[in-house]
Every structure is written in structure tokens, then in C-alpha cells.
Chains A and B, each alone.
Chain A
Amino acid sequence: MRRIPFILAALLLAAPAQAQDAIRIVGSSTVFPFATAVAEQFGRTTDYKTPVIESTGSGGGLKLFCSGAGLDTPSITNASRRIKASEVESCASNGVTEIVEVKLGFDGIVIANSKRTGRFDLTKEQIFRALAKQVPIGGKLVDNPYTTWAEIDPSLPTTKIEVLGPPPTSGTRDAFVELAMEGGAKAVPMLAALRKEDKNQFKAVAHAIREDGVYVEAGENDNLIVSKLEANPAALGVFGFSFLDQNADRIQGSLVEGVEPTFENIADGAYGISRSLYFYVKKAHVGNVAGIEGYLDEFTGDAATGEDGYLSDKGLIPLGDEERAAVRTATLGLSLLSLE
């Protein structure tokens, strides 16, 4: 009851504020550091306003993006995974039928520890055995019994298994589970057989991370994980490559399947845990929201996403030259997304 005068006051104040002047961008926290760098450069070198970027997570961003076609909805959403068919449908049911997909590069997920201890050399199967909720032992699925790395493989150190990583809401966690855990599960013959029989059952086993305190959910803040690794040399941490790149004097990335997480290895696909980064544009907004073409031009240009572009300084691993040229042509021509 007391709120009525308020809402009226709010309405009166809000009335003149409908026009949209800056590009509105939402989405993945992984793409956020790259998108903001491009947005700032775009804002400084053109007469347009600097785009406003919110870090909402890939899923949250797509939800906002698909909520409608009106100019009060975001024009662009960033994603650290590809848009799902279900999301394309939900977009279409809200009137967002024309979407342009832009692949901007790769991001590696590293498993790192403090420089003060030895470097780990892990296989995906070992990662799976260390972190899965249930592991196959003697032909049966049992609750994960491993407490030290040496129990999994005598070649590994005898230290306690302790891994700090992102929570389930994070896109990094999704990609880690899909690439590392699932990849490791496929290497176990019994689970590979299960995969052929019952795909859902396999996914349930491969995607379940143990909840007995060995895997510690350390929040979305990767800086926090880095400083915790420094304080606790026995622990491993899971996070994006750019944080390893920035803190290479304090932490080291573990080898996965014998490959070191370096810029070159991720770029040519040798390093096994890497994913593509995307952003999606509403075609209907191009021409109606000022500056979108310029932003796309800046983002796909050599200065930003080229091999020596400023985004590679920020930790983005760019596409190969040929693919990048193709993406640029498709983006500037506003080719529509099709999920084959």
C-alpha cells in the first residue's frame, strides 16, 4: 500500500528514459575481459558511445538475449559455449529469429599448481579418477575411494588430492567436465562400453564431480584460486588460461596427456582441454542500434583478434588465419546462424 506513491514517482522519473544509445551486451564471464577491451577501443576510436557490457554467465546472457527482439533487450550476448538448439527455439518463440554467430577464438582450461612444488603430468583418465563421484574399480562403479594421487597411479606424487575449481554455474566448469572428465571416462573401457549402451547413464557418471571435500568449489573468481594455490602448494586449481598467463611466475600449468598448456599448443589444438568462444548478434538490431557494424568490424579485425592483436595480450587464443578470414566475411555479411 505504501508503495503506490513511490511507483508513481518512479514512473514519472522514468518516462523520458526509453531511448537506447549505447550497444547493450551481456553474457559469459570468460568472454567479458575480451569484449570489454574491444568495447573500450571501439568507444575511444569512434564517435559512438562505449558499449555497456554485463557479465551474466553464458546461460544467463542467452536467456536475456532471447527474451525479446525489442530495442530494450541486449543486442549481443557473449558465450563460452555454442548456443543450444533449445535456446534457438526459445529465441524464436520470443521473436528473435535472425541471429548472427561470431566465433572469436579459443580458451584453454588449465590445471595448475604452485611453482614451489613439482609439475604434474596427468592423463584425462587420471583427472577423471581423481575427481569423479563414482569410479569403476574391479568392474563395478563404487564411490571414489582415492585420497592421494599415488593411489591412482604410482608415478604420481603421494600428496593428498585437493582441487580448487569453479562452481556448477560456471561455463568453465561445464567445459572442464565435458572435455576433461568425459574425455577421461571414455578412456576407461568399462565406461566406454556403457557409453555405447546408454548414453545418458554414461553422461551421468562422467559429469558427476565428487562432493566429499576433495574438489573444493572456489567461486567464480579465478584470482582467488590463484592466491589459494600460492598459499597451499599441495593443491591444484582449475581455471582459464589467461590467469595462468598473467601469473606464470607463481603457478605452473600441469601437462595433460603430455602436452603443456601454452599459447601455441592451445592455438593448434594439441592441448586437449580447450573450447571455442562465441558471441551472438541480433540481426534485427543492426542498423537500429547505432554502432553495431563498427563493433563487429573492430572485434573481427586484425588489430583485435589477429595473431598479434591486443586480445592475445589479454590471453585470448586467436583462430587460425584462414578460419578468421572466413568468420570475418560471414560476420560483416551478417550470415545467419544455422545449427547443423
Chain B
Amino acid sequence: MSDLNGQADATAKRRLAKRYAAERRFRLYGASAIAVALLSLVFLLGSTVLQAIPGFTHHVVTLDFDLDATKLDPAGTRDPAEIGRADFSRLVKVSLREEFPDVRDRRERRQLQRLVSTGAAYDLRDAVLADPSLIGSRLSLAVPMSDDADLLLKGEIDRDVPEGDRRVSDRQVAWLDQWVAAGRVERVFWTRFFTSGDSREPELAGIWGAMVGTFWTLLVTLLLSFPLGVSAAIYLEEFAPRNRATDFIEVNINNLAAVPSIVFGLLGLAVFLNFFGMPRSAPLVGGVVLALMTLPTVIIASRSAVQAVPPSIREAALGVGASPLQVVAHHVLPLAMPGIMTGTIIGMARALGETAPLLMIGMVAFIVDIPGGPTDPSAVLPVQVYLWADAPERAWVYKTSAAILVLLTFLIAMNLTAVLLRNRFERRW
């Protein structure tokens, strides 16, 4: 008897040990899945941040410019329009020539000029226009270096490889070292990256144009999708009869939420551009297309927020004589608002990251001027990332990563707002 008992005991123990082992294994699987996800996130963010750091800074060199009145303003009128038309790139060339008077050969002079960005002339013009009294004197101004010179100074171009294999020649390296030794070169935080529009030169390009374009696009998206989405959700939840027609609509809304975004782009091209003749590349059209795309998300989130309001509140309101409209406007909508806002913000965050639908309506374009309104041509942040990733110059790699970081910052800020709203205002019954 006791023998039998002992045997049963041993079997049970073995089985128990097996179950514990299975339990531990299961937890291990789960933990390793999370570890893999975390590692890839760290890798992705880490490599982007590392590459973005050189993109946020730039080297400037301080040069002396002779602001000769006979060249800048021969008539002596001090008329800004007249001064603005003067050949400032000539002044930059003259200044470089004075800097290294022994450089006579034409090819070498060109090499020398390539150390300084073409933006130097624009900066010089801006400085003179801001203070016309400078004309006739000498001005010491820090101007941006070219992308190649900048990358060499940052160590991104290896100076140990043979001369023919790098974009900066030995002669240029020597000039740069001379400037550095004289303390004329400085690495500064590159604010131009945040204040200017797109450019063909990496050192002059900025994301402000794309940010303004994103603002107009998302504004149109919000103005369309929020009121429409919320009214649709409230009607479907509170007023619509339950029948085949509403079932059909509901199925369609759920399906639309899963439609790939490029399809909305094609719809935008066919309906808004070709049929209604709206302008290409405009945030207005982009906003409408993205509104169509986010609408199902907003409707679904709003419906579940409205559903979560307990029926007792509606019944109490009806019981004291409120009309159905008053029930919705005074009680259901305010109580559901945090949930609706969260859903809307998440929908907008998705719209913020889209390029595919915008490709079809011409928003993937090189646009330098900052858009002044929703009908001006403009790009958006993810489009800017896409365009820069495709450009040949090496410096764009770092600008691309920097732009990705800006985009991620906006996304995280929006998602954080959604979480905060939910935590702050959500009520549980």
C-alpha cells in the first residue's frame, strides 16, 4: 500500500516538475520576445541618433569681406532692391583670393571656392541688407562651409585614403588645416536646419518648409475628420436604428480602416485632382486625402468612447425631461470626449507619418519656398525624409537622420498627449 502510494507520489512530483518547467519555458519565450523587440528598437533609434548628431551641427569659417561701395551700390541710393541685386558671390570669391593670394591657377581657385558654401553669398547679402551702413567698410562674418569641407572636419570623410578617392583634395585639406590652426573655424549648432526650406545643398537645407506643410495638411485633416467622424459616431451609436443598412455601414467603416493608404492616394488623384481640378502638391488636397484615411479610425474610436458612457446617465437625463439631443450634447459627448480625443490624436499621428497617398497627388516634390497657406505647393516631414534619403551627396545621410528624429519627436509628443489626456480625464464607471 505504502509502496503504491510512494509510486503515485513520485509520478505526481515528476509531472509537477514538468509543469513548472513548461511554465518557466513559457515565461522565457515571452521575455525573449520582448528582448528582441527592445533590442531592435534600441538598434534603430541608436543608429538614427548617432547619424543624426552630425546633421544638427555645421562648421562655419570667419572671413573678412570688403564691402566696396562701388560694387554694391554704385548709384549710392542705398536702395535695398538695388543692393540685393549686387553680385555677392563675387565678394566671397574676392575675399577668398585675398585670403590665399598665392593661389593663381584657375583650377586651384575653384577648389578654394568649393570650401565655402554657396550659401555664404546669401548670408552676406542678408547681413548687408540688415545693416546698409556697413557698405564701404570691412566686415568679418562667419559663413557656412561646403558640405564636403564640413564632413572632412567632422571626420566623416577619411583623410587617410588616397587623394583621388575622396571629395576633398590634399590642397583643400591643407587650406582647411590652416584655417583651423588660425582658430577661424567653429562647429556650431545649425539653426538653419530648423528655419529654412528645402535646398539642393545639404548645408542650406532645412525642415521648416516641411513642418509648415505638415501643419497645413494636418489642420485640414483635423478640420474634416474630427467633426465628420464624431457626428457619424454619435449618429450611429445614439440615433440610428439597428437594421441591415446600419450593419452594412458598420462593416464598411471597419473595412475602410484597413485599406492600404496608397488606395486613398489614387482616389485623391482621380477625384480631387482630375475631376474637381484642385491644385497639385497642395496641403489642402493632402489633408482631404489623409482625412479620408483617418476618418474610419476616428469613427471607431469615437463609437467605443460613446458606448462606454453608461446607459444609466442617459436614462437619468431622459428621466428629468431632457430631449435626446440634450442628452447627447450635455452628457454623452462631454463624458466621451477624452476617448474621442485620444482616438483622433492617434489617427492624426498615423496621418503625420504617411507618404504613400501623398505620392499620387504630387506632394513628393522639391519645394524651396515656405508654403503660406493650404493651397501653396508644399511637402510634409516624411516626404522630406524620403527625398533626402534619395539624394546623392554624402551629407544628406546625416540630414535624413536628423529629419527622422524631428518626425519621431512629433509622433512621440502626439502619442504622449493622447496617453496624458486618457490618464487625466478618463472616467471609469
**Which residue on B lies nearest to A16, using beta carbons?**
B375
* Complex partner residue of B366 from A32, A222, A249, A313, CB under 8 angstroms: A32
Q: How many residues of A contact B (CB 8 A)?
A: 50
Tell me if A17 and B279 are in contact (CB < 8 A).
yes
Chain B residues closer than 8 Å to A308, beta-carbon distance = 110
Query: What is the interface residue range for chain B against chain A?
Result: 35 or more
Partner-binding segment picked from B8-16, B162-170, B174-182? B162-170
Residues 348-390 of B, flagged 1 when their CB comes within 8 A of A and 0 if not, give 0000000000000010111111000011010000000001011
In the assembled complex, B319 has its CB within 8 A of some CB on chain A: no
Q: Are B284 and A17 in contact (CB under 8 A)?
A: yes
Neighbour of B278 across the interface among A14, A43, A313, CB < 8 A: A14
Q: A43-B368, A315-B392 are in contact. Are A22 and B279 (CB under 8 A)?
A: no
- Once bound together, how far apart are the Cα atoms of A253 and B157, in whole Å? 19
Q: Beta-carbon contacts of B128-163 to A below 8 Å, as 1s and 0s?
A: 000000000000000000000000000001100100
Stretch of A45-53, A152-160, A178-186, A288-296 that contacts chain B: A45-53
Q: In the docked arrangement, what's the CA distance between A242 and B394, Å?
A: 11
- A40 contacts which of B166, B220, B368, B391 (Cβ < 8 Å)? B368
Asked whether any CB of chain B lies closer than 8 Å to the CB of A338, the reply is no
**With the chains together, A37 CA to B201 CA distance in Å?**
8
Please give the distance in Å from A77's CB to the nearest CB on chain B: 13
**CB nearest to B390 among chain A residues:** A221
Q: Smallest CB–CB gap between B292 and chain A, Å?
A: 8
Question: Which of A7, A35, A223, A243 is B389 in contact with, Cβ under 8 Å?
Answer: A223
Residues of B within 8 A of A36 (CB): 200, 366
Residue numbers in A under 8 Å from B366 (CB-CB)? 32, 35-36, 39, 52-55
Contact with A along B192-203 (1 / 0, CB 8 A): 000000011100
The majority secondary structure among interface residues of chain B is loop
Q: Tell whether A24 is near chain B: CB-to-CB under 8 Å.
A: yes
Residue in contact with A2 in the complex, picked from B157, B228, B279, CB distance below 8 Å: B228
Residues of B within 8 A of A223 (CB): 389-392, 396-397
State which of B276, B291, B365, B392 has its C-beta within 8 Å of the C-beta of A242. Answer: B392
Q: Considering the chains assembled together, what is the distance between the CA atoms of A57 and B223 in angstroms?
A: 34
Asked if B226 is at the interface (CB within 8 A of a chain A CB), the reply is no
Whether A22 contacts B277 by the Cβ 8 Å rule is no
CB pair B164 A52 closer than 8 Å? no
Contact, CB under 8 Å: A14 / B375: yes
User: Does B328 touch A at the CB level, under 8 Å?
Assistant: no
Contact of A52 among B158, B224, B365 (CB under 8 A): B365
Total A-B residue pairs with C-beta atoms closer than 8 Å? 120
Within 8 A of B (CB), among A217-276: 220-223, 240, 242-243, 245-249
B200, B278, B369: the one contacting A22 at CB < 8 Å is B369
List residues 101-154 of chain A with CB under 8 A from any CB of chain B. 115
Q: For residue B271, which residue of chain A has the nearest CB? A: A7
Interface residues of A in 287-334 (CB under 8 A from B): 308, 310, 313-315
Is B108's CB within 8 Å of the partner chain A?
no
**Are A14's CB and B369's CB within 8 A?**
no
Q: Mark B273-285, 1 if CB is under 8 A from A, else 0.
A: 0001111111011
Which residues from 184 to 236 on chain A have a C-beta closer than 8 Å to any C-beta of chain B?
Answer: 220-223
- Interface check A10, CB cutoff 8 A: yes
CB distance from A70 to the nearest CB of B (A): 9
CB distance from B237 to the nearest CB of A (A): 15
- A44 at the binding interface (Cβ < 8 Å): yes
- Knowing A39-B366, A52-B365, A248-B166, say if A6 contacts B224 (CB, 8 Å): yes
* Residue A339 is within 8 A (CB to CB) of chain B in the complex: no
Considering the chains assembled together, what is the distance between the CA atoms of A313 and B368 in angstroms?
20
Contacts of A248 in B (CB 8 A): 164-167
Q: Is the CB of B277 within 8 A of A18?
A: yes
Chain B residues contacting A242 (CB-CB under 8 Å) are 392
Say yes or no for B264: interface residue by CB 8 A criterion.
no
Q: Find residues 80-134 in chain B having any chain A CB closer than 8 Å to their own CB.
A: 110, 114, 118, 122
Give Cα A24–Cα B377 distance, bound, in whole angstroms: 10
User: Any chain A CB within 8 A of the CB of B272?
Assistant: yes
Tell me the B residues contacting A by CB distance below 8 Å: 110, 114, 118, 122, 157-158, 161, 164-167, 199-201, 220, 224, 228, 232, 271-272, 276-282, 284-285, 288, 291-292, 362, 364-369, 374-375, 377, 387, 389-394, 396-397
Q: For the A-B complex with A14-B276, A14-B279, A36-B200 known, give 4 more contacts whose Cβ atoms are closer than 8 Å.
A: A14-B375, A22-B377, A54-B362, A222-B392
Q: Please list 17 pairs of residues, one from A and one from B, whose beta carbons are closer than 8 Å in the complex, sorted by A's number.
A: A2-B232, A14-B278, A14-B279, A17-B278, A18-B277, A36-B200, A36-B366, A39-B366, A53-B366, A54-B362, A115-B165, A223-B391, A223-B392, A246-B167, A246-B393, A249-B165, A308-B110
Residues of chain A touching chain B, judged by Cβ–Cβ distance below 8 Å, are: 2-3, 5-7, 9-11, 13-14, 16-18, 22, 24, 29, 32-33, 35-37, 39-40, 43-44, 49-50, 52-55, 72, 115, 220-223, 240, 242-243, 245-249, 308, 310, 313-315
